[in-house]
Structure 1
């Protein structure tokens, strides 16, 4: 049974209502655009009152503790509150591929994935749609949903918004994209990224702790962090792993990812216009191990 199944329905409904009301002057994410999304105004994320979904499907390319034998039930949300110049899902995040869905339709997607055998429901880029997800979850629980929910974000999340999810999401999987604000500003238009990301990950860890995996190898609860290695150590790996090991927990699951390749607008930046080398990846993995992180490295 997932955490949200243990929450009184009225409390979940109240959280959804509070989150939806905040869209009138949106401060759901750290951008705090202040636009009235209930009236159709669009902020940085280019999203209005209703959730937009690109696709929903069992996914077998996620981390092993999420995939198990039946897949992770991913729901790809359209739009993003970051503007990463190397985004590998730019058609969804930046070009707006997807369709608007009601709360009932989003709830039906969640239940469909669970009924199909997926071990969890995995919201990809959920940050700007937290109110809509909570609204849909009220209906999904009434339909019998009981698998863990995964919050799969870019790490640019508001602590205040995350607190609305306490006792609802069992698994957090944020990116820790950068160790310096200079790189975050240049490549993701987020000059305050590192401080925001660190505060968000600390809150996520407070809620769910280190990743817990069942006897079947499938995650049931906890924190799993992703860090994409960039060419020329532009991601600032040393500071990322120091923070995770010293300020979060040496038990933190960390996926040091090697799949960087130039996408979207990366070719406009000479330093990002090539894949990483095997040596660059090995150096990043070594930094993580030296820092004391050894759970999930390279999963």
Structure 2
């Protein structure tokens, strides 16, 4: 599928990516920055051996606090064919990965689908994780039905003003909530193996921002009211002011520990049961990957 009228994501740029760039600034070709065994995801994703994580270049958001800005905003990475991407998946499995973890895959969905099919034809057998910002078009997610085993969306914002200010993403929650419901339709409630490694299902991530506890509560309430209690929620307290956050005084700081504790308490108060939290050490630059083309060349 050539992206001659690209409407993959809610931006609906309608450009021919062979000759022009839309909001994501990416061409019709897949671009990748790193592929390695990542051990800092949720325990049921990383396990002991690591998650076979592939970081794609480009993004359909422009988060002012993005920790991965070198690849999401500055376009670091190299072009790979769909066949090469399939081989990268297979090599990660050979290295012992518990799964293939596709980070920021949205803008390449049709090509990634082809790579998954090629890899499966060559024997790929571990689960595929779709790790995205949730700013998705449902129609495109549907072409992945049956190929993705685990969806790992980061449900970032509830209020439109916040989404526009910090990620230039109008109607973010409108699209993200529909996308997450489609993700759940495809994979259902989490299923784990005997070692606690996730084989199938949905984990909703939410990165708490400084001063935005009220939005966190709205998001948790929406999850409670629209999805079964078996769905997992990963409440992330790892925010650090990074990239252009210094230009926004209200988020140019770490989150207040009291806000994080209140978010966790609210999680249980409204009847949510399954999830993950982080310790204070997670709010550190030490956990930001070094994008160096590892696993690609």
Q: Same fold (TM over 0.5)?
A: yes
Q: How does 1:29-178 map to 2 (within 5 A)?
A: 29-37=9-17, 39-178=18-157
Q: How many residues align?
A: 278
Task: Output the TM-score relative to the length of structure 2.
Answer: 0.91
CA distance in 2, matches of 1:90, 1:290: 36
Q: Deviations over 1:205-244 (max 9, x none)?
A: 1111122111111000000010001111267111110111
Task: Output the TM-score relative to the length of structure 1.
Answer: 0.91
Counterparts in 2 of 1:123 and 1:210: CA distance versus 1, 3 Å: same
State the match for 1:222 in structure 2: 201
Give the superposition deviation at 1:102.
0.6
Output the aligned Cα RMSD: 1.2
CA distance in 2, matches of 1:190, 1:288: 26
Give the superposition deviation at 1:142.
2.3
4+ residue stretches of structure 1 with deviation over 6 A?
none
Give the superposition deviation at 1:250.
2.0
CA distance in 2, matches of 1:132, 1:216: 33
Whether the aligned pair in 2 keeps the contact of 1:229 and 1:235 (CA below 8 Å) is: no
Q: How does 1:189-204 map to 2 (within 5 A)?
A: 189-204=168-183
Q: Deviations over 1:230-279 (max 9, x none)?
A: 11126711111011111122222011001100011111000010011211
Matched, 1:24 2:4: yes
From 179, 194, 200, the counterpart of 2:158: 179
From 225, 231, 238, the counterpart of 2:217: 238
Q: Deviations over 1:151-201 (max 9, x none)?
A: 000010110001001111000000110121111111111120011010000
SS of the aligned residue for 1:186 comes to: helix
The answer for unaligned runs of 5 or more in structure 2 is 279-297
Structure with the larger helix share? 1
